[in-house]
Each structure stands twice: as structure tokens, then as C-alpha cells.
Amino acid sequence: MNTAPHLIDGKQTAEDIKVEIAAAVVKLTATGQRPPHLAAILVGHDGGSETYVRNKVLACERVGYDSTLLRFDDDITEADLLAQVGALNDDPAIDGFIVQLPLPKHIDAEKVIEAIRPEKDVDGFHPMNLGRMVAGLPALLPATPSGIVELMARQGIKTSGQHCVVIGRSNIVGTPVSILLAKNLETANCTVTLCHSRTKNLAEIVRQADIVVAAIGRPEFVTADMVKPGAVVIDVGTTRVPDASKKSGFTLKGDVNFAEVAPLAARITPVPGGVGPMTIAMLLLNTLRAATGAVYPKA
Ligand SMILES: NC(=O)C1=CN([C@@H]2O[C@H](COP(=O)(O)OP(=O)(O)OC[C@H]3O[C@@H](n4cnc5c(N)ncnc54)[C@H](OP(=O)(O)O)[C@@H]3O)[C@@H](O)[C@H]2O)C=CC1
Ligand SMILES: Nc1nc(=O)c2c([nH]1)NC[C@@H]1CN(c3ccc(C(=O)N[C@@H](CCC(=O)O)C(=O)O)cc3)C=[N+]21
């Protein structure tokens, strides 16, 4: 079975974007400005989070940004974490920062996100940025949803008038991507259905989709019987499933049963190498926009 030609290569597309960003950094620094500076706060020792944060820091170096990683044990108090957020807010050498999720249970993640200054919120999770996005105002857009839109745009996938079924309604993926895809934007104008754990007849609804976006965190949840032949399938899920045959001890699984679904999909994103690298590319792009005052003009 040859599935390669219809793979949506997120890794390559993300590389293309990083080359563009690196060129913009060269231009910026040639005018005497310092390079953009991204900081990340990581609490605890979750393996997945460590990988993503490390990938983000490496990506910064690749495009010529400065980066700072602040690590804390998972017994850090909410007050101490909020103080760290405040320090980054006030640090003129930091253009943008993220607080890696999930946070330990004793910390209110909403409170931490709201404490981030919107102009430094390069994750686009702050209610100000989400609200501006909904209103169609310039905003720092959440990285995974905007990465999905950008990936489809650069891969020439037709979205206008298409029925897109999003599975999952989290604040960081499902809800914002459904809003973006429904907007009157060049790569959007979809008719969107948003499904979640209370959806009745989920399989039947997903089968009506021209475009499926799966963001639930359940490995191989979307099976062949749920997908209309010729549909475009975007797999956001990244779950580490124990695998003794791997040196790392796990395999990264998407929310789509790739072996079953790939043969009948028109185009499909792989995991890894699909949406994940785009998330990082869009985070870098947001950092450039924050550094240059593209959304919130610098004082
Ligand atoms: N590639 C990337 O860059 C990124 C990948 N991810 C990955 O995407 C996945 C989803 O992440 P995230 O959105 O944060 O996850 P959350 O756990 O926050 O949300 C999961 C959503 O899926 C819904 N859901 C769960 N089970 C079912 C089911 N059986 N049927 C229908 N809906 C269901 C939930 O519904 P309800 O609301 O009713 O509970 C919820 O809305 C994870 O694997 C995560 O690792 C996340 C961010 C970035
Ligand atoms: N504040 C915050 N912002 C986030 O953006 C955020 C977060 N918290 N918490 C967790 C989720 C998850 N997430 C991913 C990012 C990149 C890959 C990625 O690059 N994946 C590679 C593989 C990486 C690997 O090998 O494990 C790929 O799919 O090809 C995956 C997942 C961002 N998230």
C-alpha cells in the first residue's frame, strides 16, 4: 500500500515556515534590534511536556531566537508560580512566554493563564486573545488551531464550503479550531460541527465530514467506518502508548487509526510529523509577532 503521496507533511511545512522566520530574524537584527526572546515555564517532570518544551527551545535556536527555560518542581505553590509569571511580564528582555500545561492539580491553570500579559501570551490562551480571535480582531492566535489552518492553506486543501467535523472541545484545540475554521477567512469558510463526549451518533456525524479534525487524546479512536472515502483527515492527538519494542519505551499514537483510515482518506496528517511540528512553528511565528508589536503595538 502506497500512502505517501497523499500524506500532509507537517514536518516539511513547519521547516518552510522556520526558514521564513529565520530570514525575518536576520532582517530584524540587521537593523540593530536584539533577536526575539521566548521563555517557557515547565512545572514538574512529565515526559511528554519535557519533550515538547525541549523541542520548542531547540526550534528557537534554529531560527535565531534567544530562549529561556524556567523549571520548577511540581510542589511549587500557586503564589510562587504567579510571581514567576509576573516577573516575565515585567521583563523587557522577554517578548513572549508560555506556561506548559498541564499544571499540577493544586494550581489553578485558568488563573495562571489570565495572569499572563496578553501581549506576551504567545500560546494565545489568554481570554483577551481568545476573545479578540472570536471577534475577528488582530490577536495572538492559539498555535495548534492556527497551525492546522496554515497547514491546510499551504497544502492547497480546499476548505470553503466544506463540512468540517471537529472532535473534542478543549480550550486549547477543539473550540478555537472550530471557530477559526468557520470564519470568513481565505483558508476557512467551513461549515463546522463540534463534537464531544456527549455527542449522540458520533460516528454518523463524523461520516458526513469532508474534513475531520480529531483532537480528543484517545489513541486510534477514529476508525475506517467513521470516515467518508475521500475525506481530509487532520490528526491532532499525541498519546504516548507503552511499547516494549521501542528504545524510548513508548510509541506516539494519534487519535486516528492511521493504518485503517489512510487508504480511504484523500489527504491525511501522520503522527508524528503532522500537526505537532506546525504547533511549534506557529509558536515561533507568534513570538516574532509579539517581538515586533505586530498585534499589540509596542509602547
Ligand atoms: N499536536 C499538537 O500540537 C497538540 C496535540 N495535542 C493532543 O491532542 C489531544 C487532545 O488534547 P486536548 O484538546 O488538550 O485534550 P482535552 O483532554 O483537554 O480534551 C479532549 C476533548 O475530547 C473530548 N472527548 C474525549 N473522549 C471523547 C469521546 N470518546 N468521544 C468524543 N469526544 C471525546 C472531550 O470531551 P468533553 O469536553 O465532553 O470531556 C474533550 O472535549 C491530546 O492527545 C493532546 O496530546 C494537544 C495540543 C497540541
Ligand atoms: N502551554 C502549552 N502550550 C502548548 O502548545 C501545549 C501544552 N501547553 N501542553 C501540551 C500540548 C501538546 N503540544 C504539542 C506540541 C508539539 C508536539 C510535537 O511536536 N510533536 C511531534 C513529535 C514529538 C515527539 O517525538 O514526542 C510530532 O507530532 O511530530 C506535540 C504536542 C503542545 N501543547
> What amino acid positions are annotated as catalytic residues?
56, 100, 123
Tell me the mean pLDDT in the region 2-12: 81
What pLDDT, in 10s, does the model give residues 201-237? 999 999 999 999 999 999 999 999 999 999 999 999 9
What pLDDT, in 10s, does the model give residues 261-271? 999 999 999 99
Pocket test for ligand 1, best of 144, 196, 234, 282 (most atoms within 8 A of CB): 196
- Listed in order, strand segments (DSSP E) in 34-183 are 37-43, 66-72, 96-99, 163-167
Which protein residue has the closest C-alpha to ligand 2 atom 19?
Answer: 276
Task: Give me the residue spans of the domains in the chain.
Answer: 33-118, 143-278
Query: Is the model's pLDDT at 9 over the cut of 60?
Result: yes
254 known ligand binder: no
> 168 in the Ramachandran plot: left (φ > 0), alpha (ψ -120 to 50) or beta?
left
Tell me the mean pLDDT in the region 103-129: 97
Q: How far is the CA of 216 from the centre of ligand 1 (A)?
A: 3
Question: β-pairing, 96-99 with 191-195?
Answer: unpaired
Confidence bin at 5 (pLDDT 50/70/90): low
Query: Is the model's pLDDT at 183 over the cut of 70?
Result: yes
Cell of 178: 472550530
The pLDDT, as a whole number, for residue 298 is 83
Cα gap 26→41, rounded to integer Å: 27
The pLDDT, as a whole number, for residue 47 is 83
- Phi then psi for residue 85, to 5 deg, are -60, -45
The pLDDT, as a whole number, for residue 90 is 98
The pLDDT, as a whole number, for residue 4 is 66
**CATH topology identical between 33-118 and 143-278:** yes
Confidence bin at 51 (pLDDT 50/70/90): confident
Tell me the mean pLDDT in the region 144-163: 97
The pLDDT mean for the chain works out to 95
Cα gap 13→172, rounded to integer Å: 21
54 known ligand binder: no
Residue 197 identity (one-letter amino acid)? S
pTM score:
0.96
Tell me the mean pLDDT in the region 131-153: 97
Which architecture characterizes domain 33-118 according to CATH?
Answer: 3-Layer(aba) Sandwich (3.40)
3-state SS, residue 27? helix
The pLDDT, as a whole number, for residue 18 is 97
Number of DSSP helices (H) and strands (E) in the chain, helices first:
10, 10
Confidence bin at 2 (pLDDT 50/70/90): very low
Cell of 85: 509569571
Tell me the mean pLDDT in the region 268-275: 98
Pocket test for ligand 1, best of 53, 197, 251, 253 (most atoms within 8 A of CB): 197
Whether 286 is in the pocket of ligand 2, judged by its Cβ within 6 Å, is no
Whether 101 is in the pocket of ligand 2, judged by its Cβ within 6 Å, is yes
* Domain 143-278 part of CATH 3.30.70.270: no
169 known ligand binder: yes
Cα gap 261→265, rounded to integer Å: 6
Q: How far apart are the first and last CA of the chain?
A: 57
The pLDDT, as a whole number, for residue 3 is 47
What pLDDT, in 10s, does the model give residues 32-45? 999 999 999 999 99
Q: Estimate to the nearest angstrom the gap between the alpha carbon of 3 and the chain centroid.
A: 25
Residue 154 identity (one-letter amino acid)? R
